[in-house]
Amino acid sequence: MSALWIAHVTVTDEAAYGEYAKRATHVIAAHGGTFLARGGAYETLEGPDRPRNVVARFPSLQAAHDCYHSDGYQEALEFARGAATRELYIIEEGAP
């Protein structure tokens, strides 16, 4: 069953976060991830407003988990630390 990686982000350092995004994009693709939404129009109905919202689909919950914990993603993540406030979730897709 596929899984979604959902991130809500407020960027505070565009240059550093841009480097994170560049590096993370390659790692996500290497783990079978494809972007469904990356920025774009949004509406916050509940919770904190985060102007950057990203949704990526992975072939499985395990693939999404492995991507996050991979050396490549952890290296990319160093550029996001201190450059943004984020929430990141992995959610398995499927029927209720």
Domain ranges of the chain: 3-92
Contact present, 47 and 12 (Cβ < 8 Å): no
Average pLDDT, the chain: 95
Q: What is the pLDDT of residue 95?
A: 61
Q: What is the topology classification, in CATH, of domain 3-92?
A: Alpha-Beta Plaits (3.30.70)
Against a cut of 0.85, is the pTM above it? yes
DSSP annotation string for the chain: --EEEEEEEEES-HHHHHHHHHHHHHHHHHTT-EEEEES------SS---SEEEEEEESSHHHHHHHHHSHHHHHHHHHHTTTEEEEEEEEE----
Query: At residue 17, what are phi and psi to the nearest 5 degrees?
Result: -70, -35
Q: 58-79: per-residue pLDDT in tens?
A: 999 999 999 999 999 999 999 9
39 has a pLDDT exceeding 90: no
Q: What is the total residue count of the chain?
A: 96
pLDDT class for 44, splitting at 50, 70, 90?
very high
Q: 8-33: per-residue pLDDT in tens?
A: 999 999 999 999 999 999 999 999 99
